[in-house]
Structure 1
């Protein structure tokens, strides 16, 4: 159902035919990169974090080679970076793990785009299923993802060592 929601979302923007449905799984960065024949860092991974006690989930989209930096995350959002469980992710976003994306969410969740994607002209986020993607410019990712802001909450993507 989630892929259908994303198709409907993009249909309203005249982009539903740009969704790529793959024969192979794209459920992880590595699988998506292989299926799409692109570098792993160009996969825009979408992560769902537990918000504060009063908030819904927080969505962060980052480059495929970026890792969440707990210190930066806490400084930015004022809470510890804790990923939602698979069940919580589905409940909050309407997308199962492997197909999570900022498009066609079932709740109006805050979406942030990490600066790690800014080094590319285009990236490939999932489209609601473990075998779908769409190629978007960084500006389109921000616009279609209805992002609230750019954030710097990742490490490891600019050549620094990841512990």
Structure 2
């Protein structure tokens, strides 16, 4: 189980401060093991992989804007669906994510970005009572409801999952 007493790194402290400013009542917690993947985070939290709200970042080709899809941990993001809504996409490498979004890969938070980020939220997350999102560090997470995620990000909800 996560520990709410472990000191948190500066990047996660920034998220904790932002959550407090937003009036969010759930703390940032530190996982004993990394939460870089949805499966690792779910194992550390004792929840289902579906309850992990993973942040996938792309680069929009038309204007080089960062594009983030917050998806259920069990879903693969269908890049063609996202591109149909937002325009052609390219790969966002670790440097792009860190310099444009403000977090290292493995701890990319859906809020508190360095610059305006184009976002979509996976409609499958809205089927859940609560989800866990990265809090700025590979070991840091916070809990929220899907409605809170939508409210905090202002992002539209869309079908982004690759379906078999």
Match of 1:90 among 75, 81, 98: 98
Tell me, in whole angstroms, the C-alpha distance in 2 between the residues paired with 1:41 and 1:23.
20
Q: Please give the residue correspondences for 1:14-163 in structure 2 after superposition, counting only pairs within 5 Å.
A: 14-15=23-24, 18-80=27-89, 82-144=90-152, 146-156=153-163, 161=164
1:16 Cα deviation from its structure 2 partner = 6.7
Task: Report how far residue 73 of structure 1 moved.
Answer: 2.0
TM-score, normalised to structure 2, is 0.87
CA-based RMSD of the aligned residues comes to 1.6
Q: Cα distance, 1:15 vs. partner?
A: 3.1
Where in structure 1 are there 5+ consecutive unaligned residues?
none
Distance in 1, Cα, partners of 2:49 & 2:37: 10
The whole-number CA distance in structure 1 between the counterparts of 2:27 and 2:147 is 16
Unaligned runs of 5+ in 2: 1-9
How many pairs align?
155
CA distances 1:92-141 after superposition (whole Å, capped 9, x unpaired): 11100110011111112122211121211111111100011111111001
Q: By how many angstroms is 1:78 displaced?
A: 2.2
